[in-house]
A and B are shown apart, each in its own frame.
Chain A
Amino acid sequence: MTTADVLIIVGPTPSSPRKIDRAAIGFGRKATDCISGELDLLLLGPAAETASSQFAHLGARKIYTIGHADLANYTAEAYTHAVCDFTSERNYRFLGGSASSATRDYFPRVAARLGIPMASEVLEIDQLTADQAQLVRAVFVGNLLATLSISGPQILATCRASAFEVPAEEVATESPVEVVTISHALALAGKQFLSLTEQTSDRPDLTEAEIIVSGGRGTRGAEGFQLLEQLADQLGAAIGCTRAVVDSGWMPNDLQVGQTGKVVAPKLYFAVAISGAIQHMAGMRSSKTVVAINKDPDAPIFEIADLGLVADMLEAVPQLTEALKG
């Protein structure tokens, strides 16, 4: 018999909550509102225990941390094992988290191991009862919204970070923290982590940024991106790009926005020399304001732009950067 409680899983845990973690907690709160349950947090990974105080004023009844040695380097197999060991003794109605390359990797393993249904990248919770859930998510490259009906006493779901937020004000009550000790091995023998090559940049992270300056194939490479970087510096913005740009080797993969890259929803998104393939639009169409600069007046990106300028980016972008300085 499950309870009416909700568990939000964060892992690997960052040193302090990112936008996607706050969104996951907002998602969890929405779920608890629907079923009048309580919200707990599970933080996984080497930073979980030290970071727990950073998560202590977000409205959780309790925070659990697991900092097992096998979680030091991320593997889907070990994270799955940790989550399932934890949840098998506790009857949560709803297990949730935020969509990321990690949760896309290990959450389905958790669902399979627990034998429970899963919903990916949820945008809305329409209904949540003891044995039924109605959740809304985007399908067909973001062109349609589907309402799913999910039956069963326990479900696992990830949310799109763009769709949920936690209130800005902190909750006064501090969530108590319990360190969970697992004494057996969690790693799977056949999987070995070798290395992680992180891109370092002084600019804000794509999924954290309030403003994103993004370029497409029409930037013609380094020259165009240099101009975009100057604009981004002026605005304190993150840099993004399309698949074609990454395929050409002009920018690294972690800056790709779109169906197969990152889904972003900043306050302001500049789509520069981006024609607007549906796969790109799927990753940025929830942005509050979209500015398109393109020399082709028929580019599909103008269909979703709030502000458009038909111009060659090599001329228009330096002019814009200059005009914004004043």
Chain B
Amino acid sequence: MKILVTIKRTPHRDARMRVAADGKSLETGDIAFEINPFDEIAVEEALRIKEAGKAQEVVAVTVGLEVAREQLLAALAMGADRGILVNSGGAAEKQELDSLQIAKTLSAVIQSEQPGLVIMGKLATDDENWQIAPMVAELLGWPQATFASKLELSEDGKTAQVTREVDAGLEEVELTLPALVTVDLRINEPRYASLPGIMKAKRKPLDVIEIEDLGGLADLGGIGQSCVRTVSYRALPAKEKGILVDSAAALAAALKERKLV
């Protein structure tokens, strides 16, 4: 079986993003980028399935600009076998692709690669849209299990049993493959790439496909127009500075005075 994982290049999880002077863009000059932390967990999960002998190949895919090659290489250094970069730079100019367009692009790649399992991060830490994975599953007509904290493939490799972290507690579902799973934090602890892994990554196949050359998009009705644009950013309104009290008794008194308890 082949497993396909998706990768997004995102600003480092602890980066403090600042709005540029125009109010419309972000200052990214001194920002470090990484694989979206949840996608890193997806790569790790795919590698573990392969190492358990239940998959033969792990393919990492990203839709983005040429710079996202860096994150694909990081996934290859972790152990993925092959990378695909769908370059959106030409078609999209400076216009951002919206979630549905990215979902269509990924679906076209998945239809051509025909993996048995697609693993994605449950969200991207930059825009926090939580959208693309269920959109892809719907476009493919596949079953999905989002927010997985446990994923087990059956012995015959035909089904997957997934534990999902949901608002009420833990849900268990069974998926018949091909299927799509998104992973949550507690499913695994991603490995660090080893030095030999990093060296090897440079020799692994990494295909670049221009988005307009992507076969299969037409079957999905074409990539369509971007309907969602970010027109401006602003910082959160500053919060009034609080006060420090010097004892638990004083804290209790302050809470009572403010009629909070």
Taking Cβ atoms with an 8 Å cutoff, the residues of A that contact B are: 74-77, 80, 100-102, 104-113, 115-121, 134, 138-152, 188-199, 207, 211, 235, 243, 246-247, 252-254, 259-260, 262, 267-268, 278-279, 285, 289-291, 293, 302-311, 315-317, 319-320, 323-324, 326
Q: Is B134 at the interface (CB under 8 A from chain A)?
A: yes
List residues of B whose CB falls within 8 A of some A CB.
Answer: 11, 13-17, 19, 26, 98-100, 103, 122-123, 125-139, 141-144, 146-147, 149, 161, 165-177, 179, 184-186, 221, 224-225, 227-236, 239-240, 242-256, 258, 260-261
Q: Are B149 and A323 interface neighbours, CB within 8 A?
A: no
In the complex the two chains form, is B128's CB within 8 Å of A139's CB?
Answer: yes
CA distance A243 to B149 in the complex (A): 14
Q: Which of A139, A254, A293 makes the CB contact (< 8 A) with B126? A: A139
A193-B161 Cα distance, complex, nearest whole Å: 10
Residue in A151, A191, A310, A315 whose Cβ sees the most chain B Cβ within 10 Å? A191
Residues of B close to A113: CB separation below 8 A: 138
Partner of B233, one of A80, A142, A146, A307: A146
Question: Is the pair A140, B143 in contact by a Cβ cutoff of 8 Å?
Answer: no
Grouping DSSP codes into helix (H, G, I), strand (E, B) and loop, the A interface class, with mixed when no group exceeds half, is mixed
Of chain A, the residue at the smallest CB distance from B126 is A140
Query: Knowing A192-B173, A307-B243, A309-B245 touch, does A143 contact B236 (C-beta < 8 A)?
Result: yes
**Whose C-beta in chain B lies nearest to the C-beta of A310?**
B244
CB closest chain-A residue, reference B140: A112
Q: How close is B174's CB to chain A, nearest CB, in angstroms?
A: 4
18 contacts between A and B (CB under 8 A): A76-B134, A111-B100, A117-B99, A118-B228, A140-B128, A148-B228, A148-B230, A149-B228, A149-B230, A149-B231, A151-B225, A191-B174, A192-B173, A247-B185, A253-B186, A262-B167, A307-B242, A308-B242
Which of B146, B169, B234 is within 8 Å of A76, CB to CB?
B146
Q: How far is the CB of A162 from chain B (nearest CB, A)?
A: 14
Q: Give A169 to B258 CA distance when docked, in angstroms.
A: 25
Shortest distance from the beta carbon of A187 to any chain B beta carbon, whole Å: 10
Residues of B within 8 A of A111 (CB): 99-100, 131, 135
B143 engages A188 (CB within 8 Å)? yes
Chain A residues lying within 8 Å of B175, measured Cβ to Cβ, are 190-192
Q: A302 vs B165: C-alpha distance in the bound complex, in angstroms?
A: 30
User: Are B17 and A140 touching (Cβ within 8 A)?
Assistant: yes
Q: In the bound complex, what is the Cα–Cα distance between A290 and B224 (angstroms)?
A: 45
- How many angstroms from the CA of A149 to the CA of B232 in the assembled complex? 9
- Give B239's nearest chain A residue, CB to CB: A304
Give complex CA distance A326, B233 in Å.
47
8 additional A-B pairs beyond A109-B144, A259-B128, beta carbons within 8 Å, are A76-B144, A108-B134, A140-B11, A141-B13, A190-B177, A198-B168, A254-B166, A324-B256
What A residues does B165 contact at CB under 8 A? 101, 253-254
Given A104-B130, A289-B258: A134 touches B231 (CB 8 Å cut-off): yes
Contact indicator A112/B103 (Cβ below 8 Å): yes
**CA gap between A310 and B245 in the complex, in Å:** 8
- Beyond A108-B132, A115-B100, whether A143 also contacts B16 by CB under 8 A is yes
A188 to B172, alpha carbons, bound, how many Å? 16
Which residue on chain A has the smallest CB distance to residue B132?
Answer: A108
Contact check, A316 vs B144: say whether CB atoms are below 8 A apart. no
CB distance from B57 to the nearest CB of A (A): 22
- Verify A278–B17 contact, CB threshold 8 A: no
Q: Chain A: which residue is nearest B130 at the CB level?
A: A104
Please tell me if the beta carbons of B221 and A101 are within 8 angstroms of each other in the complex. Answer: no
Report Cα–Cα, A278/B146, bound state, in Å: 24
Chain A residues whose C-beta falls within 8 Å of the C-beta of B246 in the assembled complex: 309
| Chain B residues in 8 Å Cβ range of A140 | 11, 15, 17, 125-126, 128
Instruction: Determine how close the nearest CB of chain A comes to the CB of B256; give it in whole angstroms.
Output: 8
Q: Give the residue name and chain of the A residue nearest to B10 (CB).
A: A140
Q: Which residue from chain B places its CB closest to the CB of A326 in the assembled complex?
A: B252
Closest 8 CB pairs of A and B: A319-B248, A323-B252, A191-B143, A190-B176, A108-B134, A117-B227, A112-B135, A190-B143
A260 and B100 within 8 A (CB): no
The answer to whether A324 and B132 touch across the interface, beta carbons within 8 angstroms, is no
* Closest beta carbon of chain B to A106's beta carbon, Å: 7
Contact between chains at A307 and B186 (CB < 8 Å): no
- Chain A residue nearest to B128 in the complex (CB): A139
- B249 engages A319 (CB within 8 Å): yes
Residues of A within 8 A of B229 (CB): 148-150
Would B137 and A121 count as touching, CB distance under 8 A?
no
Docked-complex contact A151 and B227, CB < 8 angstroms: yes
CA distance A304 to B232 in the complex (A): 25
User: In whole angstroms, how far apart are the Cα atoms of A142 and B225 in the complex?
Assistant: 28
B227 / chain A contacts, CB cutoff of 8 Å = 116-117, 150-152
B230 partner, pick from A146, A246, A305, A319, beta carbons under 8 A? A146
Which of A197, A247, A293 is the most central at the interface, judged by chain B CB atoms within 10 Å of its CB?
A: A197
